[in-house]
Chains A and B, each alone.
Chain A
Amino acid sequence: MLSLTPQEWTAVALSLRVALVSTVAALPLGIAIALLLARKQFWGKALIDGLVHLPLVLPPVVTGYLLLITLGRKAPVGAFLAEHFGIVFSFRWTGAALACGVMAFPLMVRAIRLSIEAVDRRLEDAAATLGASPLWNFATVTLPLALPGVVAGMMLAFARALGEFGATITFVSNIPGETQTISAAIYTLTQVPEGDSAALGLVVIALLISLAALMASEWLARRANARLHGI
């Protein structure tokens, strides 16, 4: 059942890489935006909130298309990035990671924001009286106390990235070895005769990865919680 061709294994490896890279790369920005939304009152907050959540409600194909017309090679921003920084997203695995990151971002921000809002601000006040500057206060009190939420946010983002299809295939297409993730590979296999058994193999792999990720995050969250509640 798991006799996959090298090309299919490549898709599995690529999927893992894309999901991992998109999650890790989105994390700092996700924490920053979550903190901003949880703690600051400012003009345009509703707009930021809306923009962050947009990928959740837009059809993924639309998100992918928007990425294509802004970051594609011939699009203004994409051309600028390629010319001045040598950064190219379109039809590269990095583009797949970007698309996944964008799609997963609202879930990540939401989980982290909720956990930051749940942090007892009186503990932050206590830290301030003990000499913690705002940055240290965040690093030593807020973030550790919000850690279960951060873990949950990363998990959701990873899962979302692993399952991403529409935005990725629209933005970076379905190139074996470069942008063909598990989802795209399964889709391709279902389009050809005799692709069924290979598709099933990939489905099993996807299932195993998802289950492992879920269990890992549950374990991490439990550990983080135990640390917080002082045993």
Chain B
Amino acid sequence: MLSVEIEKRLGDFVLQAAFETASGATALFGPSGAGKTSLANAIAGLLTPDRGRIRLAGETLFDSQAGIDMPAWRRRIGYVFQEGRLFPHLSVRHNLNYGRWMNGLAADAKTFTRVVELLDLGRLLDRRPGNLSGGERQRVAVGRALLMQPRLLLLDEPLASLDAARKADIFPYLERLRDEARVPIVYVSHDVAEVRRMATQIIVMDQGRIVNQGGLELLARQSANRAGTVLDDPERL
């Protein structure tokens, strides 16, 4: 599905990652500062790696040797940011339609209604992002990414800015999304419980590197240790 093999130096920090994902949901898991968001940005085309390759469904998005660097706006990767990043000057409805307009997709009332129902956005359509709650904003952001008909959905800590109650509110929507939307998902998180509920494949990152990858069984060891710390890193033991 998605295959990544990149290197990027950001000051003293070196991001070095190589992995492949299957279909379904893959978690990028690790403590904050591990380089998860940088990796997500590289996949989306918002950060240019120094070298390496990124391929999605057989298409090369980036290849430093071949001189390929597809700009973000051509990649068709839906990205849900930590802080939503809704367009404040557009209504919720127009935020949702933005990706369809920019990609020149035909209006599709059925898909629109399905996503609006999936995320329970019906009441919000004519409101502005300025007066939505944090949880509502993130749901709109998910819907906006989904409605551009992405080839891959990147969710970067979509619940990080929410309190526990809000997280519990929005999680069922994300699970439905995973089960019904049939878009491969990369879910970035530092939260064991979120990852356990969301992902089938896990990529563990720390200090810019991938230190482990595999299935949910990785979490058994993870949660036995202190949450949020990654002790599977051989260099740190």
Contacts and interface: CB of A to CB of B under 8 A. Distances in A.
B130 A129 contact: no
A230 B129 contact: yes
A122 interface: yes
Given A126-B79, A129-B73, A230 B130 contact: yes
Contacts of B144: 130
Interface string A113-152: 0000000001101111111111011001100110000000
A38 B21 CA distance: 40
A125 B45 CA distance: 9
A131 B73 contact: yes
Interface string B29-62: 0000000000000001110000000000000000
Given A125-B46, A126-B85, A231-B128, A132 B73 contact: yes
Interface in B120-159: 128-131, 144-145, 148
Contacts of A140: 98, 102
Interface residues on B, range: 20 to 34
Interface in A67-86: none
A128 B83 CA distance: 16
B148 A231 contact: no
A229 interface: yes
A222 interface: no
A230 B136 CA distance: 14
A129 B42 CA distance: 12
Interface of A: 122-123, 125-134, 136-137, 140-141, 144-145, 227-231
The 8 closest A-B pairs by CB, nearest first: A230-B130, A230-B128, A131-B102, A126-B85, A130-B99, A129-B79, A128-B72, A131-B103
